[in-house]
Amino acid sequence: MIYIIELLCLYDVKFDNKTQVNVLLIIAEDVNKKKSLSLPEFLKTNMKRKIIINVMLPPLSRCHIFKSYKIMPRSQNAHAVVNAGFLFKLKRNTNYIENATIVYGSISPKFIHASKTEAVLIGKDPYINETLQLALKTLSDEINPEEAPPEPSSAYRKMLALALYYKAILSLCPADKLDPKYRSGGEAIKRQTSKGTQIFDTDKSVWPLNQPVPKLEALVQCSGEATFANDLPTQTDEVFGAFVCADAKPGSIIQEFDASEALKIPGVVAFYSAKDIPGDNSFTPLNLPFLTVKEEIMCSKEIKFYGQAVGIIIANREKVANRAAELVKIKYQSVDIKKPLITIEDVLKSPEKNQRVTTDKTVEPTDIGHDVKCVLHGDFKIDTQYHYYMEPQTCVTKLTEDGMEVY
């Protein structure tokens, strides 16, 4: 929806600091009541119990040229990292811009129109280098993305916004004005149907050692017979847990809990914190690769990050547990701490690099090759992947004669 609205803003063209309203949204409040709204009016409208039934767009003349882009982390079912739309009206039979409309999404809540860049383009040929450089400089000055973790950094989104303008110009540029070696920069990347093959090299002479076999759960999982947490029926005396999470900055020290209000709610059974864990308060055994410190199941003292689990409420209903967890009060001792290290780059630049970075293996070169034709310099970065869960992060534990079953 946000992407559509931003593109519709292309059609609300500005003349002499006034907006010519060209796009109308037809809103239905009930079966017999409809009304038309401009985009500025729509953005201020409470849409409760209303629905958009039509979008009325004006026809564009042959003097108009249009491009839009949506850069996503996935090709489907994903919001835009940055999206952009470009609508130019050229003077008849020329390449000179009569009117320009440039809109962006995912820059900041207050920024949609690149109005300063629109203004400098009027009367100019967008396909010459002087205009391109002027537009990119103006665009760079007026685009200031806000940091919005876990989204990509503001610097990346700004560079992407500039690149999309450049891509649009390359795409729209007449063939006689563009060096063929740059033409592909304006074209959409053609992605063929993806496919993959896994090949495992094995030595049949030592089978069954290293012989490929399907994992034990494969058949029941593929057939849909596997039982997951949400498939289990309600158990006798079943209770639900809801985490109480830290609402203080990292480095704060937990002094005490007050769960009295939560425990008054009917159905609430108990509140537990780190002191109630009889064994090792950690879910990261150090004998596993790449684990250098123990992470606590529930924070016992110093807050490591906002939202860290510090306790758990037990109740007879899930909704009751969630509501009670919000009522637990936590008293902290606030401490002055240095700026938190949010990214890997922050850690690598900090004095804590040696504490936080574990070197697995380092291979030092023993000699320089004598048949080297090219030496390449630069950086290549593979960013982290944000988890896209397809199921709730839950588990169900059943007591048995031999211990526990965990689903």
Q: What is the pLDDT of residue 47?
A: 92
Looking at residue 87, its pLDDT comes to: 92
Question: What is the CATH topology of the domain spanning 2-22+57-186?
Answer: Enolase-like; domain 1 (3.30.390)
Domain coordinates of the chain in residue numbers? 2-22+57-186
Which pLDDT belongs to residue 10? 52
| Overall average pLDDT of the 244-272 stretch | 95
pLDDT: which is higher, 232 or 163: 163
* CA proximity to 70, closest of 168, 172, 169: 168
What pLDDT does residue 9 have? Answer: 55
Average pLDDT rounded to a whole number, residues 186-197: 85
- Pick from 90, 70, 69: which is nearest to 168 by CA? 69
- Binned at pLDDT 50, 70 and 90, residue 20 comes out as very low
pLDDT the model gives residue 391: 63
Q: Kindly state the average pLDDT of the residues 132-137.
A: 97
Q: What is the pLDDT of residue 274?
A: 96
pLDDT(322) > 90 = yes
**What's the mean per-residue pLDDT of the chain?**
87
399: confidence class by pLDDT, cuts 50, 70, 90: confident
Q: Specify the higher pLDDT residue, 261 or 292.
A: 261
Res. 129: pLDDT tops 50 = yes
Q: How confident is the model at residue 325 (pLDDT cuts 50, 70, 90)?
A: very high
Average pLDDT of the residues in 100-108: 92
